[in-house]
């Protein structure tokens, strides 16, 4: 019984250490997909279409990205896209928080395929 308890404690401590080392926080997850670029929407979002015919919209691009998605020459190009998601509170016309949350997608890496 004491051996089993020791094993359980060692496993739990190992998992806790891995969690700190690799930072398993859900907001730090980076996603990756290959998709075709369709341009900028009227809401100033970058529109892509993946292989499952699903549209994906991105709000921001990190400053270190050298590809300017506002340039129309990239429309219909295939990209490998890495992105992160962040959450912010929606505000009303007066600038006051509504209590509703909104997810923003930010491109962190972009490579032409």
**Could you report how far apart the first and last alpha carbons of the chain are, in Å?**
57
21 belongs to a structural domain:
no
Place of tokens 């020459």: 73
- Structurally, the chain folds into a number of domains equal to 1
What confidence tens digit (pLDDT) does each residue in 85-109 have? Answer: 999 888 889 888 888 998 999 999 9
For the record, the structure tokens of 34 come out as 């290959």
Q: CATH no. for residue 95? A: 2.40.50.500
SS3 category, 66 = coil
The predicted model scores a pTM of: 0.69
Residue 72 belongs to what domain range?
26-112
For the record, the structure tokens of 66 come out as 């050298």
What confidence tens digit (pLDDT) does each residue in 23-51 have? Answer: 444 445 889 999 999 999 999 999 999 99
Q: What is the CA radius of gyration of the chain?
A: 20
């Amino acid at each position: 019984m004491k051996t089993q308890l020791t094993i359980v404690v060692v496993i739990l401590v190992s998992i806790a250490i891995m969690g700190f080392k690799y930072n398993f926080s859900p907001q730090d997850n980076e996603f990756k997909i290959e998709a075709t670029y369709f341009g900028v929407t009227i809401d100033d979002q970058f529109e892509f279409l993946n292989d499952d015919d699903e549209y994906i919209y991105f709000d921001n691009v990190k400053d270190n990205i050298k590809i300017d998605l506002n340039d129309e020459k990239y429309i219909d190009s295939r990209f490998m896209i890495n992105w992160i998601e962040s959450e912010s509170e929606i505000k009303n016309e007066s600038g006051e928080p509504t209590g509703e949350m909104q997810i923003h997608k930010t491109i962190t890496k972009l490579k032409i395929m």
